[in-house]
Amino acid sequence: MEPVTGPNGVLPGHAADLAEVFADPWVARWYDAHWSPEEVAAQVANLHAGWERDAVGKWIAYERTGAVAGRGGLSRIPADSPTAAAIAELVGPEWSADRLELGWALKESARGRGLAGEIGRAGLDFAFSTLGAQAVIALTERVNTASQAVMQRLGMRYAGEIRAEGWAEGSPDVQPDAPFAVYVADPSVRRQEVDDVLTAAVRWAESQPEIRGMAMVGSWARDAAKMTSDVDLVLLTDVPDKYLADDTWLEAFGAVAVVRRQPWGPYLTEVRIARASGLEIELGVTATAWAGVDPGTRRVVSDGIRILYDPEGVLADLQADS
């Protein structure tokens, strides 16, 4: 999925795509929107003006096939609005400086495949890495449990409820004071998840007599990771086939799916998994001989390494020699 149309978000040329999103029955139901071509054009103009004014806005999201999947991204809630005041009271002054809201709307055909999470991670990464924001909120009607589940998987924290116009349980019509659940994230949201992964990984390694070492490499090891960065772990073992023939051990890393398996050279096989939040972990299962410094190993280690488990000092020796 490609969540960004370009640096200016929803451009006038994408009016047909926006119309397709809001013509979808699932989207129209939540937004109570059945737009005419003129209304679509006005919405696109408003969104484009928002990008010019606020330097943020909603993106059109596409499937990798090029089909329209939905729209999502960031927007700034107007400072003088009752909604901004109510949210600020819940989440504090860190949010009030930027007033960023994360949101998404997917066509029914695009639901259930993790695409909302992709949009969410891209939005949070842009907010924290590019804009330097200290807090981002997402909100949805209390009855929209599916969107709340996405917010939770993104690691966002429930902050409370506000009242705004929307759908309410038991009512066939939009209500002026429907309850909305508010969730908040700060720049530490993904780091906390990664820290939890590493704690669980070390605990698992300590229980496996065949594991001779484990290290994190790549962007997280050198403190250069973004919200969308995966976690790269190397597992040293004398019996790699044991871990390549059975997937049950992946549960210790929170795997909900195996994304890819791929051998790299004579020793290392990549097992890439996805967690419920969308965080991907690349587990490099490798024979202990990989730790002998060849050009490939040296390149990986010199790019950043954080030793997590090394009872025999194999990885420490490798780090010292690199």
Report how far residue 229's alpha carbon sits from residue 121's, in angstroms, rounded to the nearest whole number: 10
Report how far residue 55's alpha carbon sits from residue 6's, in angstroms, rounded to the nearest whole number: 13
The confidence band for 89, taking pLDDT boundaries of 50, 70 and 90, is very high
- pLDDT tens for 90-133 read 998 889 999 999 999 999 999 988 889 989 998 999 999 899 99
Q: pLDDT higher for 226 or 275?
A: 275
Which helix (H) or strand (E) is 51 found in, with range? helix 37-54
Would you say 104 and 71 are in contact if contact means Cβ atoms under 8 Å apart? Answer: yes
pLDDT number for residue 261: 95
Mean pLDDT of the chain: 88
* Domains of the chain, start order: 12-187 (3.40.630.30), 190-321 (3.30.460.10)
**Least confident span in 62-66, 141-145, 184-188:** 62-66
- Is residue 204 scored above 60 in pLDDT? yes
Other CB atoms within 10 A of residue 153 CB: 20
pLDDT number for residue 296: 66
Across 83-90, average pLDDT: 95
The amino acid at residue 42 is A
